[in-house]
Structure 1
Amino acid sequence: MKELKYKLVCIDLDGTLLTDEKTITKENIETIKKASSLGINICIATGRIYKFVDHIKEVLGNKIKVIASNGAIILKENGVLNFKTLSYEEILRLKELTKDYNVDIYLNTENEIISEKSIPDTYSYKAINNDLEDKYKVNIIENYPFENLKKDNQYKIVKAICINKDDLNEVKRVRKILEETNEFEISSAEYHYCEINSKGISKGKAVEELAKGLGVDIKEVMCIGDGGNDIEMLKRAGIAVAMKNGMENVKAIANYITEDNNNSGVAKAIKTLILEDSNI
């Protein structure tokens, strides 16, 4: 058996590990568990709220590492969460910059969604929340003025989302305005919203930090993703794997394109590029 070429595999969730029905295929589960049993570090690298990974860890095993909210939260080896937050001033600045546009702002903490308005049931995170067992649910705080954040001083805001599912052009305009300020880190997993983190925060930076902490060279890291917020980690990876169903600009930078998310693309990439290559 050859030495394993990749010692850390970082995997996006939505559109990558998860099917369109938000399930994990049996082939993906079995392959990830096999890789983990061989000493390969497995990391879920998602834009999701950290709490939304709890039920994934239960399926895949508690040895799973976690990068959440696009790198603003990293689960360390000792179980400590490392937070990189948006300041209250940055949140109010975001509100000011977007006030003339038809977008809603949702703030994410480790386990909360906060909005100044009522959140529609069609919002993806709320829909996910409704389908989970109570112990996996996040707290949804609605009709909460962002000006109260500093006074209350109880929420660690790690990511904001600007969303308008009905008008993609409005989201594009907001993204352009925010990018021109160069005050935030902007990405998009999907076209109908843009994600805002504190400057310099990305999945890519978090992957570098995690690899360093594990004593793994960045050349020994495989990253697998499909969306715009995966680009920074794919650029840094020793090998970048894009899903067949991924955005075109994601596939354009990939070293390898695997099957789609409904056909165990993650498992097929791990088998082909790690297990079969090492004759396991």
Structure 2
Amino acid sequence: MSVKVIAFDMDNTLLDSNKMILESSKVAIKRALDMGIKIVMCTGRPLAGVSEYMDELGIHGDDQYVITYNGAIVETAAGKTLNKYLINKDEYVQLVKYGDEHDIQYYALDDNSNVYTGNRDVSRVAVIQANENHAGIYVRTPDELPEDFAAAKFDFVGEIEKLDNTELQVIRDFDEQFNVVREGTVFLAVMNRSASKGFGLRRLAEYLNLTADQVMAFGDEKNDISMFKYAGTAVCMENGSDIAKNFADYITDTHDNDGIAKAMDKFVF
């Protein structure tokens, strides 16, 4: 079957090393949009962190879609929610306590792209995240948050060595309760058990009455593996992790060397 949906991870996949979309990618994506193919950002970022790129690509309205927070929210480009899977306040408190007890810094994102942390010594990673999302950081203890507070995504953060040493333990402690996945070198994401890029992509395909064979996915990291497992055509960037590459159908060139356009030429055009 021909490709009807193309899902793109953002960082180090659609975005190059300068956090820009290559001109070759823009040309290929415009061609796909003109063919009626849905172009879907499928990212760990919140909507505020991808909106400018969607605007740049001309992705607008209720007939285009975006998957954010690693699949916690599936919505239209105009902001109409199709699916939402959040972490409630009790679960958030549990994760905060764990971070404090194990000396792991953290932040959380609510479903309005706001960044929260109880760390008084705010992680540089949280600052970068807030900047990417054009948001400030709310430094609040759990007691200072309302009872109906909910997080779309919780991230344990730290330098590479720190997360390398704690990743497996966090997964062992929380894997039955949450979806825990390494997003990149400095992010270890914790989401609702039903939230993943793969499940979000599946739900979107079902909403559009499409099958997995009609879905193509681009990614580079562990949090992309779930959509690689679902999509009929899974493409990993050459700059991606070895683990992610193991689940891909095809390894394209890097995010800095026209990898998106080359794979779309091969499989779409």
**TM-score with structure 2 setting the length:** 0.90
Mapped pair 1:112 → 2:104: no
Amino acid at match of 1:161: D
Q: Structure 2 vs 1, CA of residues 177 and 35 (structure 1 numbering), >3 Å: closer, same or farther?
A: same
Deviation at 1:141, TM superposition (A): 0.9
Aligned to 1:40: 37
Aligned to 2:166: 171
Bigger mean CA offset, 36-45 vs 160-169: 160-169
Deviation at 1:117, TM superposition (A): 2.1
Mapped pair 1:147 → 2:149: no
Within-5 A mapping of 1:109-258: 109=110, 110-118=112-120, 120=122, 122-123=124-125, 126-127=127-128, 129-130=130-131, 137-142=134-139, 144-151=140-147, 153=148, 155-165=149-159, 167-172=162-167, 174-179=169-174, 182-258=176-252
Two-structure CA RMSD over aligned residues (Å): 2.1
Q: Any idea what the Cα deviations from partners look like across 1:120-175, whole Å, max 9, x if unmatched?
A: 5732x633654x6xxx6123212x01233344x3x441000001216234432542
Is contact 1:111-1:139 (8 Å) kept? no
Within-5 A mapping of 1:13-52: 13-52=10-49
Is contact 2:4-2:38 (8 Å) kept? yes
Bigger mean CA offset, 197-206 vs 184-193: 184-193
Query: How far apart, in 2, do the equivalents of 1:225 and 1:119 lie?
Result: 32
Structure with more contact order per residue of length (Cα contacts < 8 Å, sep ≥ 6)? 1
Aligned to 2:66: 66
Amino acid at match of 2:65: K
Query: How far apart, in 2, do the equivalents of 1:203 and 1:85 lie?
Result: 14
Bigger mean CA offset, 167-176 vs 20-29: 167-176
Is contact 2:92-2:150 (8 Å) kept? no
Bigger mean CA offset, 40-49 vs 70-79: 70-79
The alignment of Structure 1 onto Structure 2 pairs a total of residues equal to 263
Q: Any idea what the Cα deviations from partners look like across 1:52-106, whole Å, max 9, x if unmatched?
A: 1110111111244210000011113774124211011111121233332121120
**TM-score with structure 1 setting the length:** 0.87
Aligned to 1:278: none
